Amino acid sequence: MTNNIKAGIVGGTGYTGVELLRLLAQHPQVELHAITSRGEAGRPVADLFPNLRHHVDLTFIEPSVASLQDCDVVFYATPNGTAMQQVPDLLDTGVRVVDLAADFRLRDPAEWQQWYALEHACPGCLDQAVYGLPEFNREAIRSAQLVANPGCYATAVQLGFYPLLQAGVIATDGLIADCKSGVTGAGRKANLGTLLAEAGDNFRAYNVAGHRHLPEIRQGLQQATGQSIGLTFVPHLLPMIRGIHVTLYAPLVEQAADFQSIFANCYSQEPFVDVLPAGVLPETRSVRGANQCRIAVQRPQQGNMLVVLAVIDNLVKGAAGQAVHNMNLMFGLSETAGLDGIALLP
């Protein structure tokens, strides 16, 4: 354990990168050591992100292993396919890595290539990588050198289904995840579909035929429960900046269970999962800027279908906040260090 963890961020100009900067700049046991960007090298970070003035005094630098090997931990907030080009050399120097992209989430390199249309550059690292959902893999994360930070949809969906699958009260097939995300989930890049005039006052589904988080969700739930999972997952784009709301549908196989207690007992010791009282429904604004997942369970008309509702901030619990939680575990810190901020309301 150290009181002065040197942290580096590769890809510090995207939405998850600036969220990492915001969280790490306030972390009591972290020193921001290096921030990389090919396009912004030489530019002060606070010039690009004025909210960080007087909090982050670094200048963007070119990404290279040499510029990062003095760090204790490096976060990759880069597009899919970037981290896998550099991580093996960085691991060889002893640096610990948290990848916020998808490069190390799937265990099977052939499946990764199928979904991401790239040949995996370092398939040998996939067995070494620990899937960074703390509620499932806390102990493995503590000793990991390489952590694959989960996707945003994957985080909310897995946290919603897991207690019921673990308790054996729902079917393992016929599960449905109806999910909605704000536009920051698409990243900080020029894209016609996320322009204000296109996304505002509009609501639409996308990637109905298959979203890249689908195999990750199935893999995670199967590893956590030891059961084969049949899931239909449909994402939608919401006309808002931050937030994810998932509505999960699960056929019941056990009618008499106390579903509220199943969730309450499962997450009673989890600092970042809030099981709401019976009858209370979660709202995305209740987690804006916070590393929280708020969950409710309902059984409409006492029927045969259970409904779980969960909300997260896609940039915090769905990305940067969860990455910091993983770092805290990796370095033996308090799990809540740097993550105890209250959500912004209104």
Catalytic residue numbers, as ranges: 152
Helix axes 213-225, 134-142, angle to 10 degrees: 80
Report the C-alpha gap between 228 and 221 in whole angstroms. 8
Q: How far is CA 333 from the centre of its chain?
A: 20
Which tokens belong to 64?
């290279």
User: Cα 184–147–235 angle (5° rounding)?
Assistant: 35
Residue with tokens 């035929």: 209
Cα separation, 246 vs 161, whole angstroms: 11
CA atoms within 13 A on the CB side of 95: 26
176 strand-pairing partners: 232, 249
Alpha helices in the chain (DSSP H): 15-25, 45-48, 65-68, 83-92, 109-116, 134-142, 152-167, 196-199, 213-225, 259-266, 321-330
Name residues whose C-beta falls within 8 Å of residue 88's C-beta, 6 or more positions apart in sequence.
122, 124, 125
